[in-house]
Structure 1
Amino acid sequence: MTADDTTADLVAIQQLLARYAVTITRGDIDGLLAVFTPDGSYSAFGDTYPLADFPALVAAAPKGLFLTGTPLVELDGDTATGTQPLCFVDHATHEMRIGYYDDTYTRTAGGWRLRTRAMTFIRRSGAHDSGRPHAFERPAV
């Protein structure tokens, strides 16, 4: 892999993650789902949710602005891992939540996609955790 290939991959992943932040901020669920692989998952609140549950999970979550930082990405051929800082600002109260995502990425025919995204919250106490279990009730299957 050349330096140009590495740079192109890193920019593509950064744009993918920017698309995640913009689509979730705007409430564009179809755009949000498109950043994941079909078998993608999201982890938070002590559980892992398949992509099929993601629209209900987003609908139940507070609305606001998702501010994300530049991710730290480790490329490995057609896969990669990364960590991206996050600051969420609630639209109604302007209260903030901070934390970071731990991700895996896969190169697909349509470009880079998120395969897994796991949220870690940073608490006022300094603790890092995935949230309260059962903060979101999964829809009945």
Structure 2
Amino acid sequence: MSTTDELVAIQQLLARYAVTITQGDIEGLVGVFTPDGTYSAFGDTFTLDQFPDLVAAAPKGLFMTGTALIDLDGDTATGTQPLCFVDHATHDMRIGYYSDTYRRTADGWRLATRRMTFIRRNGDHDSGRPHAYEAPTV
């Protein structure tokens, strides 16, 4: 596969992430990750089994993502993708970016890790407020 083909495959993976989360398709969302994939925000890291509760607790709306800057390295890659989230009820926006790692699997490229960084009105970049979502204690 050419470098261009690899980059297009990862871009399509990222488009699938944005569309599935916007549409509330949890199964599709989980499918863009490796089985051991994680998502980090709000001062914590979440595993795939926590996604249904995490997404249920999150505001609903449109996830608009920009073209990711990707660095390929064989069967792995890293990338950064800008994000603008628009709340469906208020049209309030949240902006930031994802920092990702990708891994080629038998099923194609998948997200291995995705970390959210929010950009605040004061210019701060942070992982979000811990109280925005709390994982249930086991």
Same fold (TM over 0.5): yes
Q: Secondary structure at the match of 2:90?
A: coil
What is the Cα deviation at residue 88 of structure 1?
0.1
Indicate the residue corresponding to 2:31 in structure 1: 34
AA of the residue aligned to 2:29: L
Indicate the residue corresponding to 1:96 in structure 2: 93
AA of the residue aligned to 2:11: Q
Q: Secondary structure at the match of 1:134?
A: helix
Q: Give the TM-score, by structure 2 length.
A: 0.98
RMSD of the alignment, in Å? 0.8
Q: Secondary structure at the match of 1:15?
A: helix
Counterpart Cα distance in 2 of 1:53 and 1:28: 14
Moved over 2 A (4+): none
Give the one of 97, 102, 106 matched to 2:103. 106
The reply on whether 1:45 has 2:42 as its aligned counterpart is yes
Q: Secondary structure at the match of 2:131?
A: coil
Q: Unpaired runs of 5+ in structure 1? A: none
Judge conservation of contact 1:53–1:139 (CA < 8 Å) in 2. no
Q: Secondary structure at the match of 1:126?
A: coil
Trace 1:50-69 onto structure 2 (pairs within 5 A): 50-69=47-66
Q: Secondary structure at the match of 2:39?
A: strand
The reply on whether 1:123 has 2:120 as its aligned counterpart is yes
Identity of aligned residues (%): 79
Q: Give the TM-score, by structure 1 length.
A: 0.96
AA of the residue aligned to 2:50: D
What is the Cα deviation at residue 133 of structure 1?
1.6
AA of the residue aligned to 2:24: G
Q: Deviations over 1:47-74 (max 9, x none)?
A: 1111111111010000000000000000
What is the Cα deviation at residue 139 of structure 1?
2.5
Count residues with an aligned counterpart.
Answer: 138
Q: Unpaired runs of 5+ in structure 2? A: none
Q: Secondary structure at the match of 2:29?
A: helix
Q: Deviations over 1:92-113 (max 9, x none)?
A: 0000000000000000000000
